[in-house]
Amino acid sequence: MDPDIAIVRDHFLRLQSEIVKTFEELDGAAKFSSERIESVRGGFSQPRVLANGKILEKAAVQFTYTLGEQLPAAASESRPHLAGSGFAATSISTIVHPRNPHIPTTHLNLRMFVVDTKPKVWYFGGGFDLTPYLPYEEDFVEWHQFARQACSSDEQYKTLKRKCDEYFFIHHRNECRGIGGLFFDDYDDGGFEASFQFVQSVGKNFLTAYSSLIERRRNIKWSVEEEDWMLIRRGRYAEFNLAIDRGTKYGLQSGRRIESVLASLPPRAKWVYDHLAAPNSPQDRLKDYLKPGIDWVNFVDNSVYSDES
Amino acid sequence: MDPDIAIVRDHFLRLQSEIVKTFEELDGAAKFSSERIESVRGGFSQPRVLANGKILEKAAVQFTYTLGEQLPAAASESRPHLAGSGFAATSISTIVHPRNPHIPTTHLNLRMFVVDTKPKVWYFGGGFDLTPYLPYEEDFVEWHQFARQACSSDEQYKTLKRKCDEYFFIHHRNECRGIGGLFFDDYDDGGFEASFQFVQSVGKNFLTAYSSLIERRRNIKWSVEEEDWMLIRRGRYAEFNLAIDRGTKYGLQSGRRIESVLASLPPRAKWVYDHLAAPNSPQDRLKDYLKPGIDWVNFVDNSVYSDES
């Protein structure tokens, strides 16, 4: 099969519909907005956003298809020489901020670039990650089992999991944004057909994994303290997205539609000066899991974890 | 008088006490925390933070005194060749997030650097600015009258006001963070005595100007809608501080104590996708004032303003 961005674009459009449908069913109350925004040379975007749901406080599932004259440097991590060429790009990104602190926040991104060099260069990028508020080990293990399942080998999973830990490390807080998942860029392993298969697998496993977490935790009652904790942790999420994230940075600098770029920001967040969770509370124990290098797929119990951390 | 950082440091310590005392009296309920954090080579910092007051939802008044081995490049806008030299620095910064949307958020920063070159180089930097939530023209005019009063000439005011408009312009939102004030860097006009006098004048006029605003607006009742609007606008404040502000960027990258660097962030903030204020509401009209180049000191009425905008 020849590399064909139209096939990938249409797959992302279907995936967007599927994610929207699944989230609306899971929420049971709120619906996603629907827009189609035309851009130059036949490109278009479809931001779909849900607000104030019963389960989902805010969710954004955004599709873009771009035909550009000059590839931005930020679009390729390891091939800066491509910058400036004409290109086509398509992407889907998803972010969910649930209402219940027992359900983690999550993020998915999938994208394909085709660059008008001779011969054409194409590659995929993306990944998914999980940002929990409370330390449910079984959730984290299951999440990474789905991440492993999205990959074609242990080795691939380990590589992309490590990249994810690295990308989402917040140096100024000395912790990871969450418990990770998969992260890949400049990806063309095994040619177009194999790569596209992998990208489809990532999207599918993401949706299954996150739906499972929502179902397991949706009926847990939460306290004001737990909600407050979630809002403080969401502040750190905003710190990452605004001060560190490459995609946001590129979006802010390139003058893309700002409401789309910042749709990932939390609906509500708090910053409390020098806030510390009560020692040994679940909130306090969360920090033990926000570390790079935890072997979640082979994770057994706390003693194993303690040896490694 | 010879340039003497000890004199400036002691002045900033007194100013910190004065600001804390004034804010505690204005609030009438909450008190500032008090810490002294020792650092290397005899430097120290004193972060003082108030939370959950009656009038002030969060206020941070922070003092620092640093003796450093290598001046960071970010410490001097126009003299990058100084980077790497030994230096002494002292600063005071203040940020207030009031509870009532009818009272603006404000920010003050004053700092002095002495660089161990031969001969020694010294300069001041700083300024103050105002971030309102609702369009009270008389407040904005008065604020800038105090800014003018802090300066020694119309010309100086105009220059530093323009720099403030430039620094606090949020390109990705195409608006200023607020209605401005004064901004200066690499400042040594007229020698040490005159510069230090100016810096003292900036601090004094800041405190008078902001106290006046609090007194005028503190008893106005506010609606849920107005509070929500304030929270959304605070989200933009967080956007500026995390994605744009030079001081925050330097703080995050240099590994300074993170709770001090981020003490400026709002206690609560909201991000609502594609939020638009009701046409012609006071909230909507605020945007007409978040523009560079408004001549506030000579501002007369809406018709004059309309001609300029």
CA dist A247 → A23, A75, A196 (Å): 24, 9, 21
- C-alpha distances in angstroms, A111 versus A114, A195, B76? 10, 12, 40
User: How close does chain A come to B55, measured CA to CA in Å?
Assistant: 17
Contact criterion met (CB below 8 Å) for B188 and B124: yes
Closest residue in A to B49 (Cα) is A273
Averaged pLDDT of chain B: 93
Whether the predicted pLDDT of A74 surpasses 90: no
Tens digit of each residue's pLDDT (9 = 90 or more) over B183-220: 999 999 999 999 999 999 999 999 999 999 999 999 99
From B173, which residue of chain A is nearest by alpha-carbon distance?
A258
Instruction: Work out the minimum CA distance from A298 to partner chain B, whole angstroms.
Output: 34
| Helix, strand, or coil (residue B274) | coil
Which site among B50, B274, B275 would you substitute to test the A interface, given the most A Cβ atoms closer than 10 Å to its Cβ?
B274
Closest B-chain CA to A276: B259
Backbone angles phi, psi at A290, to 5 degrees: -90, 55
Tell me: the pLDDT tens digits for A122-148? 999 999 999 999 999 999 999 999 999
Question: Which chain B residues in 269-288 lie under 8 Å from chain A, judged by CB atoms?
Answer: 269-274
Chain B nearest-CA distance from A254, in A, is 9
ipTM exceeds 0.90, yes or no: yes
- pLDDT tens digits along B60-80: 999 999 998 888 777 776 777
Cα dihedral angle (B236, B237, B242, B245), rounded to 10 degrees? 120
Which residue, A292, A1, A261, A286, is CA-closest to B172? A261
The answer to whether the CB atoms of A271 and B262 lie below 8 A apart is yes
CB–CB contact A235 B261 (8 Å): no
Which A-chain residues 235-264 have CB contacts (< 8 A) with chain B?
A: 235, 238-239, 242-243, 248-249, 252, 255, 258-259, 261-263
Residues of chain A found within 8 Å of residue B262, distances taken between Cβ atoms: 239, 271
Looking at residue A253, what is its pLDDT?
Answer: 78
Please judge whether A60 and B273 are an interchain contact, meaning their C-beta atoms are less than 8 angstroms apart.
yes
Contacts of A231 in chain B (CB under 8 A): 268
The answer to whether B170 contacts chain A (CB < 8 Å) is no
| Among B11, B97, B102, B107, the one annotated catalytic | B107
> B265 and chain A: CB distance < 8 Å anywhere?
yes
Statement: residue B2 has pLDDT above 80: no
Quick check: B268 and A51 CB within 8 A?
Answer: no
Cβ contact, residue pair B267, A271, below 8 Å: yes
CB pair distance less than 8 Å for A238 and B242: yes
Does residue A255 have a pLDDT over 80? Answer: no
A95 neighbourhood in chain B, CB within 8 Å: none
Q: How far is A2 from chain B (nearest CA, A)?
A: 38
Average pLDDT, integer, range B85-105 = 97
- CA nearest to B50 within chain A: A273
Whether residue B288 has pLDDT greater than 60: yes
CB contact under 8 A, A265 and B231: no
Looking at the complex, report in whole angstroms how far the Cα of residue A285 sits from the nearest Cα belonging to chain B. 20
Which one-letter amino acid corresponds to residue A239?
A: E
Query: In this complex, is the C-beta atom of A50 within 8 Å of any C-beta atom belonging to chain B?
Result: no
CA pair distance B61, B47, nearest whole angstrom: 6
Flag if B274 and A265 touch (Cβ within 8 Å).
no
DSSP string, B155-172: HHHHHHHHHHHHHTEEGG
User: What is the tens place of the pLDDT at every residue in A185-240?
Assistant: 999 999 999 999 999 999 999 999 999 999 999 999 999 999 999 999 999 999 99
pLDDT, average across residues A2-13: 94
- The pLDDT of residue A177 is 97
CB contact under 8 A, B271 and A270: no
**Buried/exposed code over B191-226 (b: 16+ C-beta within 10 A; e: otherwise):** ebeebbebbbebbebbbebbeebbeebbeeebeeeb
DSSP B255: T
pLDDT tens-place string over residues B225-280: 999 999 999 999 999 999 999 989 888 877 789 999 999 999 999 999 999 999 99
Query: Catalytic: B107?
Result: yes
